[in-house]
Chains A and B, each alone.
Chain A
Amino acid sequence: MRVLIGLALALGGMAGAAQAQAAPCCTIAAETAVRIEIVAPVSSRSSRTGQLFAIRLAEPILVDGRALVPAGAAGIGEVVHAARRGGGGTPGELILAARYLDHGGVRIALHKLRFARSGADGRIGFVVGYPASYLLTTPGGHVDVPAGTILQALVAAPVTLPAPD
């Protein structure tokens, strides 16, 4: 009888240990700052509102000194607003958002990328002459975000990941 009880306890202990090993160990807190890299160029010349673009983690996400998510983890961003520059002097416009990073099938939601820009204003000039006067404009500037640009976003909600290997 004692042997059976001992065996049961031992098996229970092993199962518990296995469960503990498989259980997630580490949580990335909401509002943790992450540095992300734009993988391919994004520009007000060609981007469209709603278009998705590739991002990746530029620096590992550290929790208690452990790299829970390695640099290079892939993710997705979205063009919230894009407008081409206009002939009347209006500049190109671009608002970008970071949506998520993917690590081992777990999505790490991101927000607060804080990228809202417009290009340089165009210029409006008056040429006064005879028999007519003219109003001339130069177009505004574009907003170009080259590949490799590093931006900061925040983790939108707490996410628990398995312990790193």
Chain B
Amino acid sequence: MARFTRLMLIGAFAALAIPAAAPAQNSSGQAEAQAAPVIPPPPAGMGQVVFYRSSRMGFAISCRVHENGQVVNRLPPGKYFIHSTTPGAHAYSVRSEATDVIRVEVEEGETQYVRCAIGMGIGVGRPNLSPQSREDFDRRGRGLDLMPPFVAGSDD
């Protein structure tokens, strides 16, 4: 048994510890050199929420944002989208083996930022929506591409 344990310890060479939401990198590692996308102000009388997913972690896990049971848009790694909406309280959710909900208060003329990151679940990765600042978007949003509007019936 001791030999078995020793073998296990010797064999354990790992430890690739990475943040759950490491910044996106393109193939040439140029992501750091790029600036975060410029976010235009919301339309008159509206507010907006910028959803972004900067990490390649859990690239196979869907981060499809819903509100009131309807898909707002999907969010593959390295993408962002701008959701213009009416001022007031809104609840957005993402689902895998569990549902994560974030409640935000959108105010007229204001932009809120929400990041999707993939945490660990029991069976599969678990997407999580978290409130963020403009500074976080500027830092992690380098090299993100705009996600086109969601079309019902499209695949992840």
Contacts and interface: CB of A to CB of B under 8 A. Distances in A.
A114 B112 CA distance: 9
A91 B112 CA distance: 18
Interface string A55-99: 000000000000000000000000011010011111101110100
A88 B122 CA distance: 9
B119 A86 contact: yes
Interface string B76-90: 000000000000010
B113 A89 contact: no
Given A81-B131, A112-B110, A116-B113, A128 B12 contact: yes
A137 interface: yes
Nearest to A111: B107
Nearest to A154: B107
Given A81-B131, A116-B133, A129-B8, A140 B20 contact: yes
A96 to B, nearest CB: 10
Contacts of A111: 107
A137 B105 contact: no
Given A80-B89, A86-B128, A125 B16 contact: yes
A29 to B, nearest CB: 16
A122 B16 contact: no
Contacts of B126: 86, 88, 90
Contacts of B117: 90, 121
Nearest to A123: B17
Interface residues of A, number: 35
Nearest to A138: B17
A89 B7 contact: no
B128 A90 contact: yes
- Does more than half of chain B's interface fall in helix, strand or loop, or is it mixed? strand
A90 B119 contact: yes
B13 A121 contact: no
Given A81-B131, A122-B20, A116 B112 contact: yes
Nearest to B102: A81
B130 A93 contact: yes
Given A88-B119, A89-B120, A90-B117, A126 B104 contact: no
A32 B134 CA distance: 22
B104 A81 contact: yes
A90 B130 contact: yes
Interface string B1-37: 0000001110111111111110000000000000000
Interface of B: 7-9, 11-21, 57, 89, 100, 102-105, 107, 110, 112-113, 115, 117, 119-121, 126, 128, 130-133
Given A90-B119, A112-B107, A130-B7, 19 more contacts: A80-B105, A81-B103, A86-B128, A88-B119, A88-B126, A90-B130, A91-B130, A93-B102, A97-B105, A111-B107, A116-B104, A116-B133, A118-B115, A121-B19, A124-B17, A125-B16, A126-B15, A129-B9, A133-B14
